[in-house]
Amino acid sequence: MGFSKEEISKSRGLWSSLWRGIKTLFVLFTMFFSFLLVSAPIFLAVADALLPSALLHRLSSPANLSSHLTNYDFRHSLIDIPLISIVRSAVILCVYGFCDGPKLSRGPYLTITMICSISSLIYISLKAAFVFGEPAIGDGGGNYFRAAEVALFLSSSVLAIGHIVVAYRTSCRERRKLLVFKIDIEAVSACKNVYPRYQKILQQKRLK
């Protein structure tokens, strides 16, 4: 039995609606991905400020956190790791907010991001050498506490490297934008220079 015209039209309408839905989802996903890429410095700064603090909160109670502040010891206290991450993310976010296109392409944003990230990586590496060079101490002790310490150091280090990567990609993107903008301006200026000459040639031909 063959299909009637109504059934064929219904199936075509169904497939066209499904195809439009797929294209709409693809456009929405592309827009969301582009938004994440453009806003990557902001999201990374927020994650840098929150993630190490949350890991430290898992390691110690609020009373122990206050004791870490009052009785700070470079070899044992971990309170400085989230503090470094918060200061680093705040400085990078402020510089990113005050910079425009040219400054984002080759200016203070990439330079300050690299200085903050590399200096914090050096500090974290030195501190890790002291912390992990001694037996684990903490509330729970054992493997859980040591694994949490490793996660704290790794998260801060990975986020520092992430700041450098995002800053470099942002700088490259702004350079491409400025290059395209410069080419467009040169093309428009060239057309403006050529068009008056062309008008003069036409006027001379008409006078002849």
pLDDT in tens, 59-84: 766 556 666 667 777 777 788 888 99
Q: What is the token pair recorded at 119?
A: 């200096």
Q: What is the token pair recorded at 194?
A: 């050529």
| Distances, alpha carbon 96 to alpha carbons 28, 125, 143, 173, in Å | 27, 26, 39, 14
pLDDT at 100: 72
* Lookup result for tokens 């929405």: 28
DSSP string, 5-46: HHHHHHHHHHHHHHHHHHHHHHHHHHHHHHHHHHTHHHHHHH
pLDDT at 195: 47
pLDDT at 116: 92
| Range in 55-59, 90-94, 176-180 with the lowest mean pLDDT | 176-180
In this predicted model, which residue has the larger pLDDT, 177 or 172? Answer: 172
Side-chain-facing half-sphere of 1: CA atoms under 13 Å: 4
